[in-house]
Structure 1
């Protein structure tokens, strides 16, 4: 799936194992491009073979190495620091790669992670990259010491799917496959502040509001977007997405693959896996007498093909990536008088960059027909009680038959003995 990352001065467009960085304010040229290339298998084996068993065990504890098989060069997660300064990606080959973006893009380091990552986020101080992985752990990787191994921060009992951090770096929020949203103090993540419980399937997306303080949005495999007062662990609003999606595949609920917010206009954009439109909401909040919030429906944004990704830039413009040749990336502006949104791709400020991106259709070929991992995360429920009670009933019947047979035999012996007497 192609992805977009809106930085303050740049736009990062990603597909498969490659990404390109476009200048948003200059000539709109590609200022940097990179393709991930896996190290040769024999090279990795040679490197691993030179290590002692103690070093390998120590690396697993620190966040290097791992117990999974060799991966591909596909990019699994990405993140940029706030403000712009660093950019990082995590690959299917269990590597965390860091770049410095100012004044020019420069590769800093490539580190190995314990397991394949599902989400990345920079702290707002910009001193660490927090990586959530498939084993349910979150590791912290130093930015100032780019060669240092990761430090384990916390762990869940199931796969982590997204991660968010408060804008003052005081709380870390994680969500997993077991329908849990966990709020932990940061950096002392051993201290759990609380949970937000209510989803009935795995949770794929988190979006934390800087204002008003305490509003969290989440979406997942149960086909809902939920609004939380996460400081109290209270659910404020539930929005079911099935009504926007028409006929659903295999009668399963729609899966939220991306959830982003524009806090200037309090506009919420939701991407549902496989849907050819962006679902839009307005977030209405009240802070007195107690914090309250709800989502107000807005007209969906129709697209010409399956939506891959969406992102808001710092000016509130919505960038949409879709599986359509010559119209792969489009830009939209929110205006209260225009519903759902007004397309501004052809305006002077955006026409050069969208033309440059959309003319490079070959770059997006690796994203065509690619499925996300979410469809395979539904749990299989087995009814073990019914067969158990059936077997128990059969045993009870068999036991009763034996007892009846034994009683009949004893009765016949008694009758024979009386006849003899």
Structure 2
């Protein structure tokens, strides 16, 4: 698992079990390196789950996120640990807490008082930031695997998406109170994002190759964008189902960037506030498969890609287009640091797609039903013909016996 998170001028890269935080601008702060494999494990962390013996995890980082101000950073690994850091004035680990299940997504509330953790069994737990050793509390549950969690800008609503095509909007203060469902996707809902410049609009993505814009308080769809129409006209992309692995936005210019799983392209949109519509502006073709993307404070688009020699690239909006920046001091510095600290973790840059296993198998039940129906009808006709033939034969024999008696 490889992830990239940027908040302000701080970048955090997770590769395998290692977290590396680097300042994007020149300063006195040094890179911060944290290895999850060095954390002491409790037997209860991995011994059993629902009474079934569980294989010990490999300490891989599954998901991570900055808080809105960048003061906090949280990550979860596959040994069911939630690790909280403060980032200012310097990086420091505040707590290590145990999760009930392996995490699929996490989000820090905008008030920065809680961490919301969505897991693969469909539950959301909240963990206090104020009381850093307090255990998590169950907030809500789905009947299907949760894939993403988001909150509204005012922390009034918690929004969750799952494998069963559902987006649920609930009150964060009383999660049992469901406000609406956003229904319309035909495959799992992989990512959700509340647009920061339009607090009542939610952007969602799915394995059905679409982006959808919602008035989430009403559960009403206002726009559907088919990503296959934005793709380069190459057969290997057009024939695939597109599953979005990351949606990010940049508030000052209302840019939205979309990265699809296992594809070397980034779809760039601009959100028009007046019409409340997404407008596709550019499709960026990458040299290698994109792994993650993030905006920085100066409108730079950082791209983590599957390239062992050039793990990270930078794009900037120049003359109306996003262009690859080669001569950039910050990029050279960060690339050097990444290569120095993460050279031994290059094998984690590849790997199979997580989303391939989320597609549900479909069966043509109607064709089977019609085939069996025709077989039953043919058998019924054969029995009727046989019955009619037997009746005719019986009448003939009866007539012959009557004639012989006369």
TM-score, scaled relative to structure 2: 0.87
Deviation at residue 182 of structure 1 after TM alignment = 1.6
**Partner Cα distance (2:398, 2:334) in 1:** 107
**Partner Cα distance (1:329, 1:244) in 2:** 23
Deviation at residue 24 of structure 1 after TM alignment = 3.2
| Cα distance change of structure 1 residues 314 and 131 upon mapping to structure 2, 3 Å threshold | same
Secondary structure at the aligned position of 1:124 is classed as: coil
1:395 to 346, 361, 376: 376
**Partner Cα distance (1:67, 1:217) in 2:** 39
Contact 1:68–1:115 under 8 Å retained in 2: no
Secondary structure at the aligned position of 1:6 is classed as: strand
Equivalent residues in 2 for 1:206-217, closer than 5 Å: 206-217=192-203
Contact 1:266–1:283 under 8 Å retained in 2: yes
| Cα distance change of structure 1 residues 250 and 266 upon mapping to structure 2, 3 Å threshold | closer
> What residue is the counterpart of 2:273 in the other structure?
285
CA RMSD of aligned residues (A): 3.0
**Partner Cα distance (2:238, 2:23) in 1:** 42
| Cα distance change of structure 1 residues 28 and 355 upon mapping to structure 2, 3 Å threshold | farther
Cα-to-partner distance string for 1:345-366 (whole Å, 9 max, x where unaligned): 6345554334323455615503
Equivalent residues in 2 for 1:209-358, closer than 5 Å: 209-242=195-228, 243-245=230-232, 246-248=234-236, 251-286=239-274, 292-335=275-318, 337-341=319-323, 343=325, 346-348=327-329, 351-358=332-339
Gap runs ≥5 in structure 1: 50-55, 287-291
Contact 1:298–1:340 under 8 Å retained in 2: no
Deviation at residue 78 of structure 1 after TM alignment = 0.7
Gap runs ≥5 in structure 2: none
**Partner Cα distance (1:26, 1:117) in 2:** 34
Cα-to-partner distance string for 1:39-95 (whole Å, 9 max, x where unaligned): 899x7379959xxxxxx8xxx7xxxx9875443321111112222332221112222
| Further displaced range: 352-361 or 294-303 | 352-361
**Partner Cα distance (1:66, 1:206) in 2:** 32
Contact 1:282–1:296 under 8 Å retained in 2: yes
Deviation at residue 147 of structure 1 after TM alignment = 3.2
Secondary structure at the aligned position of 1:248 is classed as: helix
> What residue is the counterpart of 1:35 in the other structure?
35
Contact 1:87–1:98 under 8 Å retained in 2: yes
| Further displaced range: 268-277 or 374-383 | 268-277
| Further displaced range: 86-95 or 363-372 | 363-372
**Partner Cα distance (1:46, 1:82) in 2:** 29
Secondary structure at the aligned position of 2:282 is classed as: coil
> What residue is the counterpart of 1:14 in the other structure?
14
2:75 to 86, 89, 92: 89
Deviation at residue 168 of structure 1 after TM alignment = 1.2
| Further displaced range: 372-381 or 392-401 | 392-401
